[in-house]
Amino acid sequence: MNWKSWIGAGALLAAACGGAAAFELKSADIAPGATIADTFVFKGFGCAGGNLSPALDWSGAPEGTQSFALLVHDPDAPTGGAGFWHWVVTDIPASVHSLPRGAKLPDGAREIATDFGAPGYGGPCPPQGDKPHHYNFTIYALKSAKLDLPPNATASLTGFVVNANALAKSTLTGVYGR
């Protein structure tokens, strides 16, 4: 294959991809891989943070997206491998592409109980002296407008159903230790 053929093949590939943007989650409050500020840290269990949820925005959702789900998980929590769920939100309307700092959720969105035992955002609070933990904020583009979850759904069940309905996902990870 000569160079003209390679250029032609590259042009066809670029046209086929249509320049579609990748599904991406960003935050003005948390830089990828950076330490999470005390404003967003849990208030309780020995932590003295502000417990505000960070501002999050996402773009590039795939065609067919009917809703979004947001799952915040600490895989480093000393729970025998299960990690710790810090925020679980489903049924975010497809027209919504951001949550402000200290988020009031949009109409229709549903919060599921976290591992703190209640629905709502619970910021980072790893054990004192443990290595810094990773906090994965993952937004999912879903093929369903509303997930069929029971009223007492757990975070783990929700994660299973979210993954079964996912068209795409994007993760932003921050770290925190004390």
pLDDT digits (tens, 9 = 90+) for 3-14: 344 334 444 334
Q: Among the listed ranges 9-23, 101-115, 149-163, which one has the minimum average pLDDT value?
A: 9-23
- Model confidence at 20, pLDDT cuts 50, 70, 90, reads low
Strands 110-111 and 56-59: unpaired
In Å, how far are 28, 66, 72, 74, 164 from 173, measured between CA atoms? 13, 25, 9, 10, 22
- What average pLDDT does range 126-151 have in this prediction? 97
pTM of the predicted model as reported, rounded to 2 decimal places: 0.88
pLDDT band of 19, cuts 50, 70, 90: low
Cα 113 from Cα 23, distance rounded (Å): 27
Place of tokens 């943070």: 49
d(CA 162, CA 142): 7
pLDDT, residue 8, reads 41
- CA 10 – CA 161 distance, rounded (Å): 38
Hey, what CATH topology would domain 32-176 get? Phosphatidylethanolamine-binding Protein (3.90.280)
